[in-house]
Structures are given as structure tokens and as C-alpha cells.
């Protein structure tokens, strides 16, 4: 386990935490969502930090990772979703036609980013459509539970799906860096310590 792998894992946890926020509250941490969605477009970033912009932008994910690795944590919903996303990413890896469709869809969404801006409803809708047309056709399906009032709103559903796309992006990165599910059990303490270290560094940096 190393810091790069932990940061990719934090990216996965951040996107899943944002999905939970949206499902339960109908809104989410907008700055954290900006960083997560941006990672979808940074396919050729020179570093893991570059994928997310900065370590500070991953604080929500790092906090969730630390709390979920703590054995006293009562709510493991984010971890359950992250594990499902990891399995979904494995299903995707063997489907070359879907991978190609995803890449083309992301490039099309990138053109909309340049025109409307990344946080626009047009871009969110495009990413949500892309998730629905590709990843939601695979197994396992990511089940999102929350307040039905929020989950019946089209704008919330679009944000949920675009964050799930970001979650898969981080799961791809995690696996590319050599990350595997069993490592979370074997290196739980080490992973938590590294995440705490990154979180402390990010907090100090943002306080300057």
C-alpha cells in the first residue's frame, strides 16, 4: 500500500460519499463533486494527484476512508458501494466495446465542458446518460438507497449517475496502480495511517 493507491481509493470513496449525500439530502458538497467530476476528464494526467487537482480536493474521500476503515464505524454504506463499484469496474474491463463507448462519450462531454463549463447541467446530464447507457447495463448494479423524494428528482438522479461514473474512474485508477480488494483487509491499518497522513497534510496546506 502506498500514498498514490490510497489517494485513488479516496477518490472512489469521495464519489460514493457524494452519491450518499445526494440520495439522503438531495444535495452534496459541490467543491468535492467538482474535483470528482474533473477526474473523469483527466485521463492522461501526469500523476495521481493531477487526476484530482490536489490532495486538498480529496478531503471528503480521505475522511470517509478513515472513518470506514475504523472498525467502530456503524454506517458502512459508502464502503459497500465502493466494493460494488470495484466489482463493476472488473466487469467493464473485459468489455472492449463498452470501454470504447465510454471513451467516446467522455470526449463528447469534454466538448460540452469547453462550451458550457464543467458544472453545467448539460455536462451533468451527458455524463449521467453515458453511465446509464454503459455501466448500468453491467452486473453488479450499484443500488442507491436514500430518500425517495430526492431520488425521484431528475436533477438529483443525473448527479448521482455522474458521480458513479467518477467512482468507476477512480476504481480504474486504483486497479492500474496495483490495488486489489483483499489489500483493504490485509493492509487496513496501513491504509488508514496513510489516509490520515494525507488528510493532515491537506488540512495544513489549505490553512496557509
Residues 149-167: tens digit of each pLDDT: 999 999 999 999 999 999 9
User: Taking 50 as the threshold, does the pLDDT of residue 121 lie above it?
Assistant: yes
What mean pLDDT is reported for the chain?
Answer: 94
Among 42-56, 68-82, 114-128, the minimum mean pLDDT is found in 68-82
Number of domains in the chain: 1
Structural domain containing residue 97: 3-206
Q: pTM of the predicted model, to two decimals?
A: 0.96
Q: What is the pLDDT of residue 208?
A: 45
Give mean pLDDT, residues 175-192. Answer: 93
CB 1 within 8 A of CB 192: no
What are the start-end ranges of the E strands in 20-138? none
The label of the residue with cell 463549463 reads 117
Note the pLDDT tens digit of each residue in 41-56: 998 899 999 999 999 9
Closest residue by Cα to residue 81 from 19, 37, 25, 26: 19
Q: What is the pLDDT of residue 180?
A: 93
User: Taking 90 as the threshold, does the pLDDT of residue 112 lie above it?
Assistant: yes
Q: Peptide bond before 140: cis, by omega within 30 degrees of 0?
A: yes
- Grid cell at residue 148: 425517495
Q: What does 146-190 look like in DSSP terms, one character per residue? A: S-HHHHT-HHHHHHHHHHHHHHHHHHHHHHHTT--HHHHHHTHHH
What share of the chain in percent tops pLDDT 90? 88
CATH number at residue 91: 1.10.3890.10
Amino acid at each position: 500500500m502506498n500514498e498514490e493507491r490510497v489517494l485513488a481509493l479516496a477518490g472512489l470513496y469521495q464519489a460514493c460519499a457524494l452519491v450518499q449525500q445526494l440520495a439522503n439530502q438531495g444535495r452534496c458538497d459541490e467543491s468535492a463533486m467538482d474535483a470528482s467530476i474533473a477526474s473523469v476528464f483527466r485521463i492522461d494526467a501526469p500523476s495521481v494527484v493531477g487526476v484530482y487537482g490536489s490532495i486538498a480536493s480529496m478531503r471528503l474521500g480521505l475522511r470517509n476512508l478513515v472513518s470506514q476503515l475504523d472498525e467502530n464505524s456503524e454506517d458502512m454504506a459508502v464502503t459497500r458501494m465502493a466494493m460494488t463499484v470495484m466489482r463493476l469496474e472488473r466487469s467493464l474491463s473485459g468489455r472492449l466495446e463498452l470501454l470504447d463507448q465510454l471513451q467516446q462519450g467522455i470526449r463528447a462531454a469534454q466538448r460540452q465542458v469547453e462550451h458550457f463549463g464543467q458544472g453545467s447541467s448539460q455536462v451533468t446530464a451527458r455524463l449521467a446518460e453515458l453511465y446509464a447507457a454503459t455501466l448500468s447495463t453491467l452486473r453488479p448494479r450499484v443500488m442507491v438507497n436514500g430518500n425517495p423524494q430526492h431520488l425521484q428528482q431528475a436533477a438529483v438522479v443525473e448527479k448521482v449517475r455522474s458521480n458513479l461514473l467518477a467512482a468507476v474512474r477512480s476504481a480504474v485508477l486504483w486497479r492500474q496502480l496495483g490495488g486489489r480488494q483483499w489489500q483493504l483487509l490485509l493492509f487496513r491499518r496501513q491504509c488508514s495511517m496513510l489516509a490520515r497522513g494525507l488528510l493532515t497534510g491537506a488540512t495544513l496546506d489549505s490553512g496557509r
